[in-house]
Amino acid sequence: MILPVIMAGGSGTRLWPLSRSNYPKQFLALGCGNDHSQTMLQQTISRLNGLGNAPCMLICNEEHRFIAAEQVRTLGAEHGGIFLEPVGRNTAPAIALAAIHALETAKDGEDPVLLVLAADHVISDEAAFQTSVKQAYEHAKNDKLVTFGIVANSPETGYGYIKRGSAVSDDAFLVSSFVEKPDLETAKGYVDSGEYYWNSGMFMFKASQYVDVLKKYNPAIYDACVKAMQVQNQDMDFVRVDKDAFMQCPDDSIDYAVMEPLCAENNSDVVVVPMDAGWNDVGGFAALLEVSKQDENGNAFTGDVESVDTHNTLVISEDKLVTTVGVKDLVVINTKDAVLVAHKDEAQHVKTIVNKLKENGRSEPSVHREVYRPWGKYDSVDNGERFQVKRITVKPGAKLSVQMHHHRAEHWVVVSGTAIVQKGEEEIFLTENESVYLPVGVVHALNNPGVIDLELIEVQVGSYLGEDDIVRFEDRYGRVK
């Protein structure tokens, strides 16, 4: 049985301001891939349809847990658990947690075959993807550690490469070596030789085999992960492990921790299956333009965009009209709280401006104006020195925590839907165009008892309006410390 393990961590700063550390690219619908309405995570899950696999296991961090769970739910897909990394420790430890859990929960002594996937890749040819997975499965069942090599169609300098050795079958080769990102001339030589593939970061192997080779080649990671898995806390969809133990784990990728040491010994257990499936890791805006639908001038526009004499340009606008005149090779990204304008060939350096914003103490690198919560979302419409206005959306049946604030009062006005408000010992039922005032220090909560979204306007007034001025007493989403 194939058990997909989807790695859904990462911050995605190269696609800022679309992607932020609190809402990175794997959770965005970028208008590319086979279903433009799906996020990258949802596309990753959907392309498994028809493989006959077990429900996928997700690995993400604490901050993204509710986003991941909600996107799986809205997709209508089952999952085998969402593992929460206490801290980021790269791919080798994350896969170790999944492998140990798979062996612990396997039925009748089964040794699941893990299919390790990244949640933020675009694959346009899903049939070719599944063909490569099925080919890899035959080798993984026979105790091979399989990596997928993307058939290189250009000399890319942003990817690592896999050099193939002798053939082990019609559809697989021994791995001769893993190669770091090359310069352009070296990359041209790799592609011309036909012996190198792009390193996709996708793998397939038995759970027990990964645990065994990790124990041999990187015992520090193995020991830390085994200790971390000895304490597991189940919380709704989420599985938490021992934080202190996991923090002792070295930070290392599967390539460095396992695959490269195996190849250095000329180990015949590591094989590469070529994949030619329209793969792209969307590592920047130039790549996003490449995988997006383009007009006759090479432009890709999303949102309200009008252009004159514009060529080879990517424009994405979330909330307002964007116009371009007489430009080419640009990237223009408009979100509710930030605008990026960059030359297409320089867009890979967007991380530089993100780092500068962080140094200046700006919030935009981490959060969007629109913030998602397990009960719904809010949009910070306006703010000043002593006030803030939010538009709040609460999903049917959802409830905000029972809480109070030390520094701010709140005024809620219902725009649509129905609300049950707890105000101290009082319970108030509100409908459209009704409101309630919540003074500083009053314990309160908000519940949507209806079958449609509850929309309301919240006006906050006070000396301090930060999100950390929330004292929670009860919370159905496990956020009471």
Give the chain as a 3 state SS string.
CEEEEEECCCCCHHHCCCCECCECHHHCCCCCCCCCCCCHHHHHHHCCCCCCCCCEEEEEEHHHHHHHHHHHHHHCCCEEEEEEECCCCCHHHHHHHHHHHHHHHCCCCCCCEEEEEECCCEECCHHHHHHHHHHHHHHHHCCCEEEEEEECCCCCCCCCEEEEEEEEECCEEEEEEEECCCCHHHHHHHHHHCCEEEEEEEEEEEHHHHHHHHHHHCHHHHHHHHHHHCCEEEECCEEEECHHHHHCCCCCCHHHHHHHHHHHCCCCCEEEEEECCCEECCCCHHHHHHHCCCCCCCCEEECCEEEECCECCEEEECCCCEEEECCECEEEEECCCCEEEEEHHHHHHHHHHHHHHHHCCCCCCCCCCEEEECCEEEEEEEECCCEEEEEEEECCCCECCEEECCCEEEEEEEEECCEEEEECCEEEEECCCCEEEECCCCCEEEECCCCCCEEEEEEEEECCCCCCCCEEEECCCCCCC
Which pLDDT does position 32 carry in this prediction?
Answer: 85
Domain assignment present for residue 127? The answer is yes
Token reading at 400 = 């905000």
Domain assignment present for residue 481? The answer is no
Residue 354 structural domain: 285-359
State how far the Cα of 154 lies from the Cα of 188, in Å rounded to an integer. 8
Share of the chain above pLDDT 90, in %: 84
Q: Which of 221, 253, 280 is the last residue of a domain?
A: 280
Residue 143: which pLDDT band, with cuts at 50, 70 and 90?
very high
Same domain, 267 and 289: no
Q: What's the number of domains the chain is made of?
A: 3
Residue 31: which pLDDT band, with cuts at 50, 70 and 90?
confident
pLDDT in tens, 386-400: 999 999 999 999 999
Same domain, 20 and 151: yes
Domain assignment present for residue 365? The answer is no
Residue 480: which pLDDT band, with cuts at 50, 70 and 90?
confident
**Can you state the angle between helices 207-217 and 91-105, rounded to 10 degrees?**
130
Adjacent-strand bridge partners of 437: 411
Domain assignment present for residue 364? The answer is no
pLDDT in tens, 77-110: 999 999 999 888 999 999 999 999 999 988 888 9
Same domain, 115 and 241: yes
Token reading at 369 = 């104006």
Adjacent-strand bridge partners of 468: none
Token reading at 434 = 């009704």
Same domain, 80 and 12: yes
Same domain, 38 and 60: yes
- How far from the centroid of its chain's Cα atoms is residue 435's Cα? 37
Same domain, 251 and 103: yes
Same domain, 292 and 380: no
Average per-residue pLDDT for the chain: 94
State how far the Cα of 316 lies from the Cα of 309, in Å rounded to an integer. 17
Residue 287: which pLDDT band, with cuts at 50, 70 and 90?
very high
- Between 445 and 158, the higher pLDDT residue: 445
Same domain, 318 and 387: no
Same domain, 413 and 333: no
Q: Which of 253, 280, 307 is the last residue of a domain?
A: 280
Give mean pLDDT, residues 370-399: 94
pTM for this prediction: 0.91
Which of 135-149, 166-180, 261-275, 337-351 is least confident? 261-275
Adjacent-strand bridge partners of 169: 172
pLDDT in tens, 50-64: 999 999 999 998 889
Domain assignment present for residue 328? The answer is yes
Domain assignment present for residue 480? The answer is no
Which pLDDT does position 481 carry in this prediction?
Answer: 67
Which pLDDT does position 211 carry in this prediction?
Answer: 96
Same domain, 96 and 127: yes
CA-closest candidate to residue 247, choices 224, 229, 230, 265? 224
Same domain, 310 and 276: no
Which pLDDT does position 478 carry in this prediction?
Answer: 82
pLDDT in tens, 452-465: 999 999 999 999 99
Which pLDDT does position 62 carry in this prediction?
Answer: 86
pLDDT in tens, 171-230: 999 999 999 999 999 999 999 999 999 999 999 999 999 999 999 999 999 999 999 999
Q: Which of 297, 332, 359 is the last residue of a domain?
A: 359
Contacts of 388 (CB under 8 A, 6+ apart): 380, 382, 459, 460, 465
The domain that holds 110 is classified in CATH as 3.90.550.10
Same domain, 39 and 78: yes
CA atoms within 13 A on the CB side of 144: 22
Domain assignment present for residue 375? The answer is yes
Residue 29: which pLDDT band, with cuts at 50, 70 and 90?
very high
The domain that holds 376 is classified in CATH as 2.60.120.10
